Amino acid sequence: MKLPELDPLTFSKLLGVVSDVTLVMDAQGVILDVSTARDKLATLGCQSWIGRRWIDTVTSESRSKIEDMLQSQGLPDVMRWRHVNHVNAVGNEIALQYVLLPLRDGQLLAVGRDLESLAELQRRLVETQQSMERDYLRLRHIEARYRVLFDTSSDAVLMVDAINQKVLEANLGAQSLLKDAGKRLVGRDVRECFEAASQGEVQSLLRMALATGRVEMCAARISGLLPEWTVSATVFRQEGGAQFLVRLVSRDAVGEPYRDPNASSVLSEAMAHFPDGWLLTDTSGVIKSVNEEGMALLGLTATSQVLGQSLERWLLRGAVDWGVLNTSLRQQQPVRNFATEVRTLSGMTLPVEVSAIYLARPEPMYVFFVRDLDRRMQVSAGVAQNHVHPFAELSQLVGRRPIKDIVGETVDTIERMCIEAALELTHNNRASAAEMLGLSRQSLYVKLRRFNMVAEADVETLG
């Protein structure tokens, strides 16, 4: 390439663009002039190099490189970039890359580039590589644990693709159950593992699990096996899309105690005609069954009016009552005599008392017993008339104390009892207790402080 000669000003501007440090030296390597293009290199104190030998400004391991470049005098056939380290005023090393060019009158020009940005990129690359290797090792350990659990599980387990419903993996239990010694099960449609009469049920099970995201179960006949098996499907997502974890469990292995069939039918008939309302829901509160008295309490004429709906819809306080009930039942603690109100189909409200238990079955369920409090109060009204009025002793205070004080103390006592009952029902959840009592949270805190029902730490928090 033929270029015209450049004037000194243009050449100086060009050096300022292509280099970070420029040194002008004589033939012995004594620095005559220095120019820096980056403020970052100001810590090197390059201007103090003027009058010193170039070799004296570098670290000991870089001196041999400087000697090689000075001996070559910038000849074109040996011209190449060399990595050199300088030491700044605080003792830190700064890496530069130099190339030496010959000038007129025997002078030399050293053009340097700062390698700090390149070194930073290299450090980041090394750190990223190490992080990837650690993640890869952790994934390998997780996969190893998963493989051990998968293959040693006592249940038959299949991994099924949610799109084409083909088997991706089968553990040893599934291979033994489905007579797959040749391991030809992988790649087959999962429905082929079941009898023709059960394939539609399995298809519906997989669709329901994909739609709800919950564990779904059904009973199906496996090919070549007479008894029915319990099939459960759980959906999860990976990079390749949704997949199913399908478990096959013998219905005899569920571990239910033996029950007399006649006793079961008697129990079912008794619950259907139980004098109190009876409802069966899943753990999300969706009603699965209801007896005649439960329908009467809610003002229903057919079970279709309530089945598949949330129990929360029929509770007057809705999410508050359901939150209290669900919290206790989820911890497998029975609920006894929970006072609330239900909203009937016609919109009327009815005071009721709810008791509930948790059923630990393959698919956990909640059982609710609902009692009509209006009817209970009417029955006990005649009995109550024969008892001394609960506040009859207050009449003895008349004449001794002002009526204002008597009424005030009575109201405080009742108010305190109501707050204690609400806190007990909500397991000391003050937000739910305030909503149950019809108070704001701040008003409840004021009353708790007035009745000395908060600890010292709570008082500091509320204050």
CATH code (residue 446): 1.10.10
Look at residue 73 and tell me if it is in a domain: yes
pLDDT at 254: 46
Range of the domain at 357: 268-381
Look at residue 259 and tell me if it is in a domain: no
pLDDT at 398: 64
Asked if 27 and 102 sit in the same domain, the reply is yes
Strand partners, 369: 278, 355
Report the alpha-carbon distance of residue 97 to residue 112 in Å, rounded.
5
Sheet (strand 365-372) strand order: 287-290, 277-282, 365-372, 349-359, 335-343
Q: What is the CATH number of the domain that holds 249?
A: 3.30.450.20
Final residue of a structural domain among 359, 381, 403 = 381
SS3 for 268-319 is: HHHHHCCCCEEEEEECCCEEEEECHHHHHHHCCCCHHHCCCCEHHHHECCCH
Tens of pLDDT along 66-88?
888 888 876 666 678 888 888 87
Classify 258 as helix, strand or coil: coil
Q: Is the pTM of this model over 0.75?
A: no
Final residue of a structural domain among 333, 353, 381 = 381
Tens of pLDDT along 148-203?
888 888 788 999 998 898 998 888 888 888 887 666 788 889 898 888 888 899 99
Low-confidence residues of the chain: pLDDT under 70: 1-17, 38-43, 74-78, 181-183, 251-265, 267, 375-400, 455-463
Look at residue 245 and tell me if it is in a domain: yes
Element (H, E) at 416: helix 403-425
Asked if 283 and 317 sit in the same domain, the reply is yes
Residues contacting 387, CB < 8 A, separation 6+: none
* Cβ proximity of 244 and 206 under 8 Å: yes
pLDDT at 30: 92
Report the alpha-carbon distance of residue 237 to residue 212 in Å, rounded.
14
CA distances from 92 to 58, 88, 89, 142 (A): 12, 6, 8, 43
- In the 8-state DSSP scheme, what is residue 54? G
Asked if 274 and 375 sit in the same domain, the reply is yes
Structure tokens at 41: 């290199």
Classify 241 as helix, strand or coil: strand
- In the 8-state DSSP scheme, what is residue 155? S
Final residue of a structural domain among 54, 86, 114 = 114
Strand partners, 232: 217, 247
pLDDT at 387: 46
Look at residue 70 and tell me if it is in a domain: yes
* Cβ proximity of 23 and 66 under 8 Å: no
Residues contacting 283, CB < 8 A, separation 6+: 326, 329, 330, 364, 365, 366
- Total number of domains in the chain: 4
pLDDT at 121: 85
Tens of pLDDT along 368-404?
999 888 766 555 555 445 444 555 566 656 656 777 7
Asked if 272 and 377 sit in the same domain, the reply is yes
